[in-house]
Structure 1
Amino acid sequence: MKEYKLAQSETRFAEMIWRHEPIGSGELVKLCEKEMEWKKSTTYTVLKNLCEKGIFQNQNAVVTSLLKKDEFYAKQTRRFVEDTFGGSLPKFLTAFIGGKKLSDRQAEELKKLIDENRG
């Protein structure tokens, strides 16, 4: 699985792009200057890095995502479960629930999800 680890500032920047895409690179520079107090060079450097990671593209001065927000966070979550729990979803859920009781609704949602994705 490709590595998509991002620094906090990169994540904030990515969120901004996802909210506004497609966005002109000049408009993105202005937005970053206003919201993140970044200089033009910082915006283009971070954008270049995220394009190299395969998350965004900047074609004809228009920035769009190659990896949608939901796909990005799904990959991050799978990587976390792999790294932290050896890929074991039951171990992850046990840690996540942490001795708390699931509501009937939560339990039903999990059962439905398991049934839908059973191999």
Structure 2
Amino acid sequence: MKDYKLSKSETRFAEIIWQHEPIGSGELVKLCEKEMKWKKSTTYTVLKNLCDKGIFQNQNAVITSLLKRDEFYAKQSRRFVEDAFGGSLPKFLTAFIGGRKLSDSQAAELKKLIDEHKEE
């Protein structure tokens, strides 16, 4: 799996792009200056790093995502389950639930997901 691990500031930066894409690089610089107190050089350095990671692209000074927000977080979630629970979804769910009780609607939703994704 490609390394899509981001720092907190990179994740915040990515969120700005996802919220405003397609976004011109000049507008991105202004947003990052306002929201993150970054200088122009910082914005371009982080943008280049995320483009190199294959998350965004910068074509003709317009930034768009190569990896959509939902896809990014899905990959992060799978990586976490792989790293922390040896890829075992049941072990992850057991830890996540942690002795709490599920509501009837939560249990029904989980059953539905399992049925939809079960191997035949």
Is 1:105 aligned to 2:105, yes or no?
yes
SS in 2 for 1:4: coil
5+ residue gaps, structure 1:
none
The letter for the 1-side match of 2:60 is N
1:35-92 deviation per Cα after TM superposition (whole angstroms, max 9, x unaligned): 1110000000000000000000000000000000000000000000000000000000
Q: 2:41 matched to which residue of 1? A: 41
For 1:104 and 1:35, the matched residues in 2 are separated by 41
**TM-score (norm. length: structure 1):** 0.99
Unmatched 5+ stretches in structure 2: none
Note the C-alpha offset of 1:113.
0.3
Report the equivalent of 2:92.
Answer: 92
Give the paired residue count: 119
How much identity, in percent, do the aligned residues show? 86
Tell me how large the CA RMSD over aligned residues is.
0.3
Distance 2:109 2:46 in 1: 39
Map 1:1-119 to 2 at 5 A: 1-119=1-119
1:64 counterpart SS class: strand
Moved over 2 A (4+): none
Q: Which amino acid aligns with 1:88?
A: S
One-letter amino acid matched to 1:58: N
CA–CA separation in structure 2 for the residues paired with 1:38 and 1:114? 44
